[in-house]
Amino acid sequence: MSGLDEFGEIARLFRPLTRGAPGAFELKDDAAVVPPRPGHDLVVTKDAIVEGVHFLVGERPELIGRRLARVNLSDLAAKGAEPFAAFLAVAWPPAFTQSDRAAFATGLGSDLKEAGVSLLGGDTVATPGPFTASLTAMGWVPEGRMVRRAGAQPGDRLMVSGHIGDGWLGLRAAREEIPDPDGYLSGRYRLPTPRLDLRRTVLEHATAAADVSDGLIADAGHIAEASAVRLTLDLGRVPLSTPARAWLAGQPDITQALLALASGGDDYEIVATSPVALPGFTVIGEVSAGQGIEVISAGRRLQPGAGGWRHG
């Protein structure tokens, strides 16, 4: 793409996403300014998505843009951060037409706007493929208050928001490997909901937290490692949606099926620890002295393996 075409595309597709933020300079500069907010820390996170890895080949561009926004907003929610701004990098493959690019920008912009996020800058490039995009998302927390993975204490309760397993089942449904008559499961995979509604609860009451992207067991394990404590996770207490329970009822080995749901990832819920039960969360275990994560079912200790996605 020539420089002229690139700048024209940025002006047409992405300048509206700045929402008039003064530090974006209408995306006419090659850098942005983030003004300080007294008494607050700036939380910065970054997630990338790649076609065929993080979403299905041939997915609608609008949904790709929305998914990119949501997986990053999920990280901010788990840190207790108020979303503020973002930077975008996107690599367009030849198959992405001008209308595809516009649809991607529309989807991305709709979810950023809903969260109160302004696009401050980024970069666009061409690639032979696959489509790749990365968003750097930023949010504010009161100074020194970001909820880290480290912080869980013996005596805390282990809990998780929402339902677990829908993301993994949703990918299978989107691939038409399992029935999904009303499209609920595939919708949960394609458009996860970042738990910004629980952001303040996490900020005010959680001792540690992470979003459930790699898998509940794996992400709880990250908390155990960072906090230098032992977590006990009871699969029988993990909250499941009605479609997930229907799927579970048809499995020959319920324990292995529960392990799969708790390891599959892509749920974008929040796993957290706190000395008290939190509204919007289900208690699924406890924190004790020691190290690592112990997974049990019906009182029996299990070997969960990796417990979720391991990044190469």
Structure tokens at 49: 């998505």
Is pLDDT of 78 > 60?
Answer: yes
Mention every residue, 6+ apart, whose C-beta is less than 8 A from residue 163: 239, 240, 241, 244, 267, 269
Q: Can you list the domains of the chain with their CATH numbers?
A: 3-142 (3.30.1330.10), 157-301 (3.90.650.10)
Give me the pLDDT at residue 308, please: 55
Q: Return the closest-CA partner of residue 231 out of 291, 306, 283.
A: 291
Mean pLDDT for the stretch of residues 275-301: 96
Q: Which residues pair with 90 in a beta bridge?
A: 124, 133
Share of the chain above pLDDT 90, in %: 91
153 — pLDDT class (breaks 50, 70, 90): very high
Mention every residue, 6+ apart, whose C-beta is less than 8 A from residue 99: none
Give me the pLDDT at residue 307, please: 61
Output the DSSP codes for 140-209.
EEETT----STT--TTPEEEEES-SSHHHHHHHHHTTSS--TTSHHHHHHHS----GGGHHHHHHH-SEE
**Mean pLDDT rounded to a whole number for the chain:** 94
Question: pLDDT by residue (tens digit) across 261-275?
Answer: 999 999 999 999 999
Output the DSSP codes for 87-138.
EEEEEE-TT--HHHHHHHHHHHHHHHHHTT-EEEEEEEEE-SS--EEEEEEE
Question: pLDDT by residue (tens digit) across 220-238?
Answer: 999 999 999 999 999 999 9
Is pLDDT of 3 > 70?
Answer: no
The model carries a pTM of: 0.93
293 — pLDDT class (breaks 50, 70, 90): very high
Q: Return the closest-CA partner of residue 293 out of 224, 242, 193, 234.
A: 224
Give me the pLDDT at residue 53, please: 86
